[in-house]
């Protein structure tokens, strides 16, 4: 069995999970970065406070500046100050002021604010052209990332759950659809629609489910054929049994009326044997068709088997000639003595039955490298060419003009074909140019 569905699911799940982690990480990092910056209005507010403090500082009105600072502290409930900074070199040589001119003591209003720090950072708004800055600890109302915890939970729990649920739904649909199609096919089959086929319902799908559908179709075809064949077999058997049963009734009634046995009892005995053979052959045929058994594997000497069958046939049909052309030996491996013997016997009896008195039935064996061919030819009426394959069906009948005694072929040829199939053999019928029927039995050597 192929593993297309396995690899398809692996690809979908692996791709989906990797894409999910990548998407969540991307959204989380970008959202975190976007939420780490101060709002535009808060930046403008801090900058405006810095400008106002710078104006008061440049005016030299320290009293007003101090009062403004105190009022702003109380208003925002935070810490703030005006700080002047210089670098004093204690050891070593000095460097150019360009390297430290404009340095700030806190964070710029344009910088990111770490969302994970508990304390609010100190923001710095430097004054113009002086080493002085307006410093303020960021008020709580301006702290970015207020909803970061909820956003983080959404990205790490809620969003993955939703996306995995969608992925599960896609996989469920992908798997449940063919299962429902198989269920529908099984339901239709159980209601007697033996022509239903699941593979057609799968469309172009090619995976384990399509293989399962093919297996179902093979099972449905075989079971359907068996059921139809059994129905036909039962119908044909009931039809075939009517004639000998009717003859039995007549023979019994005559014997009862005449008060003696004689020919009537012989007729009853003959019809009873005929019915018994019909029933036995029907049961054997049904067993071969339904069970398709693996027969006992053994080595058989085909020539010895044919010699026995020919001797029995000469005893039973003394009014027909049997001519055989056989080699000294023909060994067949892995076959069944019983199946091969019964099949060849049925075919030989059929040939003798339809061969007129005084005519000949010939038997020959040909060695064809991998198989032996047993050829049985009779001098009977033959079969119409369009019926050469039909004669192997149970209770096949030709028209009355071609029947020797008004009866059908019965189960002999049908049973022979199935017995040969059970040992990997085959049989083909053909008409002879000079008249009569030729049966070619093929049996593998091993």
* pTM summary value: 0.44
Asked if residue 229 is part of any domain, the answer here is no
Mean pLDDT of 47-71: 90
Asked if the structure places residue 359 within a domain, the reply is yes
Tell me, yes or no, whether 230 lies in a domain: no
Average pLDDT rounded to a whole number, residues 350-372: 93
> Residue 46 belongs to a domain with what CATH number?
3.30.450.170
Residue identified by tokens 């017995």 is: 419
Say if 82 falls within a structural domain: yes
Percent of the chain with pLDDT over 70: 78
On the question of pLDDT at 324 being above 90, the answer is yes
Residue 253 domain-assigned? no
Answer whether residue 178 is part of any domain: no
- Which pLDDT score, from 0 to 100, does residue 214 have? 86
| End residue of a domain, out of 120, 142, 164 | 142
What is the chain's mean pLDDT, rounded?
82
The residue among 142, 168, 193 that closes a domain is 142
Give the model's pLDDT for residue 276: 67
Look at residue 8 and tell me if it is in a domain: no
Strands (E), 236-325: 298-301, 321-325
Please indicate, yes or no, if residue 429 is contained in any of the structural domains.
Answer: yes
**122, 142, 162 — which closes off a domain?**
142
For residue 364, give Cα distances in angstroms to 118, 325, 372.
106, 5, 10
Mean pLDDT of 144-163: 85
Segment 216-236 shows an average pLDDT of: 77
Give the domain extent around 399: 295-444
pLDDT at 405 over 50: no
CATH number, domain of 421, equals 3.30.565.10
pLDDT in the model for residue 401: 41
pLDDT at 371: 94
Convert the pLDDT of each residue in 96-147 to its tens digit: 666 555 556 778 888 888 877 778 899 999 888 767 888 999 998 888 887 7
Given strand 360-368, what is the order of strands in its sheet?
Answer: 321-325, 360-368, 371-377, 437-444, 426-431
pLDDT of residue 156: 83
**Position with higher pLDDT, 263 vs 138:** 138
What is the tally of structural domains in the chain?
Answer: 2
DSSP letter string, 55-69: HHHHHT-HHHHHHHH
Lookup result for tokens 């939703």:
162
CA distance 416 to 422: 10
Nearest to 359 by CA among 253, 437, 293, 422: 437
């Amino acid at each position: 069995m192929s593993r297309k569905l396995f690899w398809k699911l692996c690809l979908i799940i692996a791709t989906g999970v990797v894409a999910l982690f990548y998407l969540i990480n991307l959204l989380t990092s970008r959202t975190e970065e976007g939420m780490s910056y101060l709002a535009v209005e808060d930046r403008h507010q801090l900058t405006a406070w810095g400008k106002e403090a710078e104006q008061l500082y440049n005016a030299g009105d320290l009293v007003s500046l101090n009062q403004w600072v105190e009022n702003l502290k109380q208003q925002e409930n935070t810490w703030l100050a005006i700080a002047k900074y210089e670098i004093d070199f204690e050891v070593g040589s000095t460097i150019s002021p360009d390297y430290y001119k404009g340095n700030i003591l806190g964070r710029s209003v344009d910088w990111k604010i770490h969302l994970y720090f508990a304390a609010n950072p100190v923001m710095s708004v430097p004054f113009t052209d002086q080493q002085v800055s307006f410093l303020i600890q960021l008020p709580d109302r301006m702290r970015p990332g207020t909803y970061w915890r909820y956003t983080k939970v959404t990205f790490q729990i809620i969003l993955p759950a939703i996306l995995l649920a969608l992925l599960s739904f896609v996989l469920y649909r992908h798997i449940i659809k063919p299962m429902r199609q198989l269920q529908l096919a099984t339901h239709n089959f159980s209601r007697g629609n033996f022509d239903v086929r699941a593979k057609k319902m799968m469309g172009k799908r090619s995976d384990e489910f399509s293989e399962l559908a093919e297996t179902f179709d093979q099972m449905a075809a075989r079971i359907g054929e068996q059921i139809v064949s059994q129905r036909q077999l039962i119908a044909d058997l009931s039809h075939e049994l009517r004639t000998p049963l009717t003859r039995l009734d007549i023979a019994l009634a005559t014997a009862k009326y005449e008060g003696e046995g004689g020919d009537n009892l012989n007729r009853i005995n003959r019809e009873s044997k005929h019915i018994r053979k019909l029933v036995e052959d029907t049961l054997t045929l049904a067993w071969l068709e339904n069970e398709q058994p693996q027969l006992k594997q053994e080595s058989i000497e085909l020539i010895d088997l044919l010699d026995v069958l020919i001797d029995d046939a000469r005893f039973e049909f003394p009014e027909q000639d049997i001519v055989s052309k056989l080699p000294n030996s023909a060994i067949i491996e892995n076959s069944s003595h019983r199946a091969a013997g019964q099949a060849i016997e049925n075919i030989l009896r059929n040939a003798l039955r339809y061969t007129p008195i005084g005519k000949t039935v010939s038997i020959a064996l040909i060695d064809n490298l991998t198989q032996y061919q047993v050829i049985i030819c009779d001098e009977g009426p033959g079969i119409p060419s369009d019926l050469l394959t039909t004669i192997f069906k149970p209770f096949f009948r030709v028209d009355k003009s071609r029947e020797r005694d008004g009866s059908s072929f019965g189960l002999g040829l049908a049973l022979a074909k199935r017995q040969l199939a059970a040992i990997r053999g085959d049989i083909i019928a053909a008409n002879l140019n000079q008249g009569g029927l030729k049966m070619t039995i093929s049996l593998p050597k091993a």
